[in-house]
């Protein structure tokens, strides 16, 4: 389990957190899930990056964010166990007018090969899912500790750092061979955030 870093221990961490908390939906999710009873979890992926991009573009912080991803880890890989957490989350977030996707990362290796055609590998922590995003730029997790206050309550997991997301540069992460996934997603992002600088997926070595 990765505990991430304190906000003031990671370059650009304070600026990043300040931006994310301008998105009221993200703030509510972090507050409520912190007392949910799960230790290993992260709010992650596009919702964080897109909040920053919206702010940089002088847009409403939550504009055009289609969903909010919550990753957690539970060694119980049964569908029933994950479904219980999803159902509980639906109750906790029932008043939020946004799609919140809660997924047990321990279950990803079960369905990923059939959906994407490549093996995923073993998972031992929620952060493993963040490590395998197709984009270094959005490989970021943020969570809040319920027993702390202020900036000390937050932890950031950012294996590739925060510079790319703060600068609007989309960089591929080639740990999995998912070039088509990368290209399709960044094409959608560019239609909404045209100022993004997209680094192409590297050509395969011949």
In a domain, 204, yes or no: no
Q: What is the rounded average pLDDT of the residues 20-40? A: 96
Bridge partners of 71? 42, 103
What pLDDT band is residue 206 in, cutting at 50, 70 and 90? very low
- In total, how many domains does the chain have? 1
Cα angle 19, 141, 30; round to 5? 65
Lowest-confidence pick of 20-24, 96-100, 111-115, 147-151:
147-151
Q: Which token pair is 175?
A: 């740990």
Task: Please provide the DSSP assignment of 72-85 as one string.
Answer: E--S---HHHHHHH
Q: What is the rounded average pLDDT of the residues 184-190? A: 97
pTM of the model: 0.95
In a domain, 115, yes or no: yes
User: In the 8-state DSSP scheme, what is residue 117?
Assistant: S
Q: What is the rounded average pLDDT of the residues 34-61? A: 97
pLDDT at 21: 98
In a domain, 99, yes or no: yes
Tens digits of residue pLDDT in 192-205: 999 999 999 998 74
Bridge partners of 141? 44, 157
In a domain, 205, yes or no: no
pLDDT at 203: 85
Range of the domain at 147: 5-198
């Amino acid at each position: 389990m990765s505990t991430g870093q304190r906000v003031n221990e990671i370059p650009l961490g304070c600026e990043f957190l300040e931006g994310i908390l301008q998105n009221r939906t993200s703030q509510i999710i972090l507050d409520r899930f912190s007392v949910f009873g799960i230790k290993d979890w992260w709010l992650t992926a596009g919702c964080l990056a897109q909040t920053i991009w919206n702010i940089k573009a002088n847009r409403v912080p939550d504009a055009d964010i289609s969903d909010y991803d919550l990753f957690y880890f539970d060694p119980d890989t049964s569908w029933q166990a994950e479904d219980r957490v999803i159902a509980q989350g639906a109750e906790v977030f029932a008043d939020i007018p946004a799609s919140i996707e809660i997924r047990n990362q321990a279950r990803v290796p079960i369905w990923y090969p059939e959906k994407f055609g490549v093996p995923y590998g073993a998972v031992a922590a929620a952060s493993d899912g963040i490590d395998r995003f197709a984009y270094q730029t959005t490989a970021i997790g943020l969570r809040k500790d319920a027993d702390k206050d202020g900036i000390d309550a937050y932890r950031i997991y950012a294996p590739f750092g925060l510079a790319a997301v703060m600068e609007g540069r989309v960089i591929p992460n080639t740990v999995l061979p998912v070039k088509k996934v990368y290209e399709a997603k960044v094409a959608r992002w560019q239609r909404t955030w045209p100022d993004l600088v997209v680094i192409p997926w590297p050509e395969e070595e011949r």
